[in-house]
Amino acid sequence: MTPQSTGQGPEIAERIIVAAPAQQVYAAVADVRRMARWSPECFAVWVTRRGGGRPDRFVGWNRRGPFLWFTTCRVVTATPGEEFAFEVTTFGQPVARWGYRFAATDGGTRVTEYWQDRRNGAAHLLGRVFTGRAANQRPVVNRDGMRKTLDRLKRELEAH
């Protein structure tokens, strides 16, 4: 599927079962600073604004090999125990929506991490310059990153 003219592309998702209650998993993910421990690209998060006791806006610092870039993020969904999502931009250009959905299961919580491409032409070019990846490589890179992120999240939460 090719991205639509609005810059919205298909959603890709990965899932894992975490042996912890949905509220606990949600709280971990909604503390966006912790993402730097799980993500293979994100190495730091700077919360720039809080609302309702949670991060509302933040900057994510990312690295892949010699490439270094930042993104500006705005929380758009924060429903404890159900879903946490944020819109990502860079230099004012739309990039993506990242999110997490949580559903109780017999074994704990099914966590679904999803990504929706929202890049337009300018963002595709910026992505190539800053991440070293062509636009069509990003879904594959992100799917691999989601698997690693979810596995690290699971290991951390199940170790406590």
The pLDDT of residue 133: 54
The pLDDT of residue 121: 58
CA angle 37, 43, 46 (to 5 degrees): 100
The pLDDT of residue 137: 65
> Could you report the average pLDDT of every consecutive run of 10 residues in the chain (160 residues)?
45 96 97 96 94 89 88 96 95 90 96 89 48 61 93 95
What's the pTM value of the predicted model, to 2 decimals? Answer: 0.85
The pLDDT of residue 44: 97
Check if the beta carbon of residue 71 is closer than 8 Å to that of residue 62.
Answer: yes
Alpha-carbon distances of 51 from 20, 29, 58, 75, 76, rounded to whole Å: 26, 16, 12, 10, 12
The pLDDT of residue 28: 97
Bridge partners, residue 91, by sequence: none
Which letter does DSSP use for residue 156 in this model? H
Instruction: Provide the CATH topology of domain 11-159.
Output: Alpha-D-Glucose-1,6-Bisphosphate; Chain A, domain 4 (3.30.530)
The pLDDT of residue 153: 98
Calpha distance 8→141 (Å, rounded): 18
The pLDDT of residue 124: 47
